[in-house]
A and B are shown apart, each in its own frame.
Chain A
Amino acid sequence: MTTVVALAGTSRRATSQGDRSPRARAAIVVLCLLLIATSLFSLASGASDASALSVMRGWIFSVSSADPLSARDSIIIYDIRLPRLLLGILVGSALAVSGAVLQGLFRNPLADPGLVGVSAGSSLGAVSVIVLGGTLLSPLMALFGNFTLPLAAFLGGLVTTLILYRISTRQGRTSVATMLLAGIALGALAMALTGVLIFIADDRQLRDLTFWQLGSLAGATWQKIGMVGPIIVVALLTTPFLSRGLNALALSEATAGHLGVPVQRLKYVAIIAVSAAVGASVAVSGGIGFVGIVVPHLLRLLIGPDNRFLLPASALLGASMLLLADAVCRTIVAPAELPIGIVTATVGAPFFLWILLRRRGVLDL
């Protein structure tokens, strides 16, 4: 966080010209370095005493194969911490970029994957499997095994988004207002159905549900990364092509059209990319809040709202933030673990309020 503040201080001069792209490029370089640092830190921290030093030594020695790591440390690093690190990077960048894209799409700095019901739909899918997996949905469990839960969450998010799109699009035109309201209604419906499932759940299922609903990276495996990694990477790689159109959309949908942006296609691609990224994230890590809203906000204050820089910067900072939060979860009550959603909400919500109070005029809320 100190790097961020320092950068804001040194590049005031660039703002006076109104062109913040040099500052934004510098910020992206700094954010890359930050992500490398947080990654190393994340690999080195945890309940076990496999320290940063032993991680480094382990890498060097396993390359020279003179003195291999002990079997225990090797398992901790390659099978537990490395997949967890990668999952944190994937989920953190997916949530932050999804937030930034939705905010651009809705022309509203408060839009969030949670707001249009995508997360709620994913949750419904996942909770269905947790509660009904042993009974009603047991044929599915037999068919997909451990993949059933992530798959159901992903499908829940996708179905919600598709219904949402059908409701709010008429004759090829999407009304953002209708979409926002329909999203809230669909989200409420999904949450009500989830509530019914929670009501009929037994004690063991409730424990699972609570942990999953609060969000966690604890279940990270190479298998999960193999499944959601490609989805998130493809969705994220689509977003740079949306950035100029999203910038024009800030003026209004009509004006973006006047500027030559194919608005309908832009909205369609953005919706698909966001629902895929969010569905995949919720599937493997549950409900991790505030990343999608705090990260783009913070970056807009620092480098401005130009999506050409905001989207990659959001991916980098979102990943770093989630890794730091996860490191806190793993160490603060070691050897137990806090759900990561508690940490992101505890840090994110007051920070978000602080941003609102400080920049109320400029954000024009």
Chain B
Amino acid sequence: MIEARNIGIAIGRSQIVTDVNFEVGAGELAAIVGPNGSGKTTFLKALSGELPYSGRITFNGRDLARMKPWEAASVRAVLPQSTALSFPFTVREIVKLGLTGGRSGVSPVEEEALPERALARVDLEGFSGRFYQELSGGEQQRVQLARVLCQVWKPVMDGGPRFLFLDEPVSSLDIRHQLMIMNIARDFASSGGGVVAILHDLNLTAMFADRIFVMHRGRLAASGPPKDVLRDDVIAKVFECDLKVGVTPGHDMPFVLPQSAGF
């Protein structure tokens, strides 16, 4: 379980995040949504131990501020929005970096084959020998996800859940891979881990999240299960956009919802 209490984050003189309370438990997928610049990524950076914060964050009861880098690395893995490389690493070499400081939870013998298993998981079987820099943006994003999965391959370790932090994991993916990646996150939670994902697609959020945290100007505007949070008034206030929940367009206007997928 991750608990964050009264989190405030200031960068330089500007207060980016104010008084945010957040929690995600074993088996849960928590989505953070909100307009651009609302502090979602900044908050996730504090959870990742990357930025100093005021307030208190605990992982399974342990204070994040007192955890060493390698201790934090064994309870959570972080997928950044995008990763550019200056050196010609192969896909396998990148995925294997996931095994740098954390603990995958499998035996050293199994770990040898883990990069290939993780790549198969993100639909990149046979990509091991390709150069990372030659892949498309969406493929690179999935390679990074495979690396992140290696770091916390077993969702549960030492009796406690482990966590995936995903910053816009589907932003550069086609719809099939969006669903595939969200299902990987869903499975990770179902197996006893926890997931924190920053999402922009409200339909995917409604479909996969157990709990939604809506951020607005650095504060929490609403939080709770999708039904309680995805309301006309919340969306109108936060996104400043006059949208209606659950209203379909006229019969001559096609629309495609991820919920209709035959998964």
User: CB within 8 Å of B: which residues of A?
Assistant: 15-20, 107-109, 244, 247-248, 250-252, 254-255, 257-263, 300-301, 304-306, 359, 361-365
Contact A260 B69, CB 8 Å, known A17-B129, A251-B97: yes
A20-B93, A255-B80, A364-B86 given as contacts; is B100 within 8 A of A261 (CB)?
A: yes
Q: How far is the CA of A242 from the CA of B149 in the complex (A)?
A: 24
A261 CA to B83 CA, complexed, in Å = 17
Q: Residues of A contacting B133 with CB < 8 Å?
A: 361-362, 364
Residues 68 to 96 of chain B near chain A (Cβ within 8 Å): 68-74, 76-78, 80, 83-94
Min distance, Cβ B251 to any Cβ of chain A, angstroms: 48
Task: Indicate which residue in B71, B78, B88, B102 contacts A304 across the interface (CB closer than 8 Å).
Answer: B88
> How distant is B92 from chain A, measured CB to nearest CB, in Å?
3
Kindly state whether residue B252 has any CB partner on chain A within 8 Å: no
Minimum CB–CB distance for A148 against chain B, Å: 40
Decide yes or no whether B130 CB sits under 8 A from chain A.
Answer: yes
- Are A259 and B73 within 8 A (Cβ)? yes
Given contacts A18-B129, A262-B69, contact A361 B134 (CB under 8 A): yes
Pair A259/B97 contact, Cβ less than 8 Å: yes
Residues of B within 8 A of A108 (CB): 86
Confirm or deny: B101 has a beta carbon within 8 angstroms of a beta carbon on chain A: yes
Q: Which residues of B contact A262 (CB under 8 A)?
A: 68-70
B 111-135 contacts with A by CB, 8 A: 115, 127-131, 133-134
- Whether the pair A18, B73 counts as a contact (CB closer than 8 A) is no
Contact B93 A248 (CB under 8 A): no
> A251 to B88, alpha carbons, bound, how many Å?
12
Q: How many A-B residue pairs have CB under 8 A?
A: 113
Could you give, for residues 129-160 of chain B, a 1 whenever the CB lies within 8 Å of some chain A CB and a 0 otherwise?
11101100000000000000001000000000
Q: CB of B178 within 8 A of chain A?
A: no
* Given A257-B69, A362-B131, A363-B88, A247-B97 contact (CB < 8 Å): yes
Asked if B87 and A258 make an inter-chain contact with CB atoms under 8 angstroms apart, the answer reads no
Contact B83 A251 (CB under 8 A): yes
Interchain CA distance A16-B133 in the complex, whole Å: 15
Q: Mark B residues whose CB is within 8 Å of A.
A: 45, 48-50, 68-74, 76-78, 80, 83-94, 97-98, 100-102, 115, 127-131, 133-134, 151
Q: Top 7 closest A-B pairs, CB basis?
A: A260-B101, A260-B73, A18-B92, A18-B128, A305-B87, A260-B70, A18-B129
Q: Report the minimum CB–CB distance from B174 to chain A (whole Å).
A: 24
Other contacts beyond A109-B86, A261-B70: 12, CB < 8 A: A17-B92, A18-B93, A19-B93, A254-B48, A258-B76, A259-B97, A261-B101, A300-B87, A300-B88, A304-B93, A305-B93, A362-B134
Q: Which of B69, B83, B98, B127 has the most CB of A within 10 A?
A: B69
Task: Give the residue of B80, B83, B90, B97 whose beta carbon is less than 8 angstroms from that of A18.
Answer: B90
Across-interface contacts of B77 in A (CB, < 8 A)? 258
Q: Verify A305–B88 contact, CB threshold 8 A.
A: yes
What are the residues of chain B within 8 A of A365 when measuring CB–CB? 86
Distance between B13 CB and nearest chain A CB, rounded to angstroms: 15
**B93→A260 contact, CB < 8 A:** no
Is B102's CB under 8 angstroms from A260's CB? Answer: yes
Task: Name the A residues within 8 Å of B100 (CB-CB).
Answer: 244, 247-248, 259-261
